[in-house]
Amino acid sequence: MRSTKIVATIGPASREPAILEEMIRAGVDVCRLNFAHGNLEEHRAMIGVIRAAAERCGREVAVLQDVPGPKLRLGAIAGGMTELTTGSALVLTEEEVEGDETRLAVAFKGIDELLGIGDVAYLADGAIRLRVKEVRPGEVETEVEVGGHVVSRQGMNLPNVTVSLPAVSEADLEMIRAGVEMGVDAIALSFVRRKEDLDPVRKVLRDLGSDIPLIAKIEKPQAAANAEEVIEAADGLMVARGDLGIELPVEQVPLVQKKLLTVAGRKARPAITATHMLESMVSSTRPTRAEVTDVANAIFDGTDAVMLSQETAIGKHPVKAVEMMAAIAEATERELPYGRWLVERVETRDDDEATIAYGAVGAIYSLGLKALVCPTYSGRTARMISARRPEAPVLALSPRVQVVRRCNLYWGVVPRLRDEAERTTEDLMAASVDEAVEAGLAAWGDKIGITAGLPMGRVGGTNPFKVHTIA
């Protein structure tokens, strides 16, 4: 059973119900919707398609809302996409024009003040390089030094250029309000620089009475430098290596990735590793050996999830990309340092729940447990156990479908919906055994561990841990 979770970006290549259903059956745990593209009604409709496809597959799949954040972006492009040819001339303008291969709008007033002759601009996560040849009022003329495909609303990076943009715009907050109303399961906030950047979003969520997890996307050098406080303030993180590799010297990206995943593990926060993981599968049916190694190394580094971007959004083989990601994860997980992670990975805290999670995972090795079962109201118990990287599966049972879905971000956790009916310890234990057997995680004669908080329906308070032999 695969423990590493798979996040797939939904786009033109994957929005058809039949393709989406195939992807879910192939192993997608989380569907990412990039709110930098499309409008709110399109996203609302897509969430309905995702929910219906997941139901046909007999699964709950999480929806991750990715909010654009403070980034320079292109405007609309005719047909949604165009190809820039190496050696061609391209004008970047602040006029609201429909872009093509010769002229692209930039959603920022003052592009002529940001760039000078000889400066470099990058598009498509650094895949496309432009060199400024001339600056005119309201526009700059560039030469395409490295060409490729660009799409509407795609980001633009200007290395060594400081752009004063708000951490979270009102447009971002409106998207978040809409996402909560649509029923998204987690929110990824782009271009976080410091922990205070999360505060406006937290306030909106509090005002809406929502406990949706907030994922901080680490894309800026400032965020990497402030990793400890940013990760502590967030509910999880995404290592977004595309922008990191432009904002930082590219040779530093692997070291920053390892640091971020180490900090996330220490603080028991789920982590997603993203960008260019199986990039060649946008057009090829097979990844390169380097890409396979990259995915495996991210899992060895301790990532909870690996993410597909263009591979499933606009690629020719979205289902094959998911199947390959799942196969790499399953092969890698056989060789992970589970024992060392149990002892070293999570920082020691004066915390009952974290201590019981440590003991529960340790019991897998000392007692040969086949599974851990954790009824949970908020998902915290499952997250704390997951952070210790148990070699046996973790069955998370919750009466809240939102919690079941968000547990799809937690490494090694198998989430299931169970209506809250058990009020005594005996009832809870019996129900946990039944669910473990029904899920195929344990059988007659097997030992399982059960841990939960009582009374059920209250956040926090995990206290009992029981070893049970199924008979």
What letter would DSSP give residue 420? -
Has 133 been annotated as catalytic?
no
Nearest Cα neighbor of 184 from 309, 297, 53, 66 is 66
Q: Find the catalytic residue in 25, 51, 73, 194.
A: 73
Measure the CA–CA gap between 356 and 432, rounded to whole angstroms.
17
Nearest Cα neighbor of 456 from 357, 353, 375 is 375
Cα torsion 387, 388, 391, 395 to 10°: value is -60
Q: Find the catalytic residue in 71, 153, 217, 388.
A: 217
Has 4 been annotated as catalytic?
no
> CA 404, 410, 415 angle in degrees (round to 5)?
30
Which residues are 130's β-sheet partners?
A: 121, 144
Label the pairing between strands 148-151 and 81-84: antiparallel
Nearest Cα neighbor of 297 from 245, 236, 330, 254 is 254
Within 8 A by CB and 6+ apart from 348, the residues are: none
First to last CA, the chain: 24
Measure the CA–CA gap between 329 and 325, rounded to whole angstroms.
6
Q: Find the catalytic residue in 32, 220, 380, 388.
A: 32
Q: Find the catalytic residue in 4, 9, 93, 275.
A: 275
* SS3 at position 171: helix
Using only C-alpha atoms, what is the Rg of the chain? 23
In contact, 464 and 386? CB cutoff 8 Å? no
Per-residue three-class SS string for 429-440: HHHHHHHHHHCC
Helices (H), 119-252: 170-182, 199-207, 221-225, 227-233, 241-247
Residues forming the active site: 32, 73, 217, 275
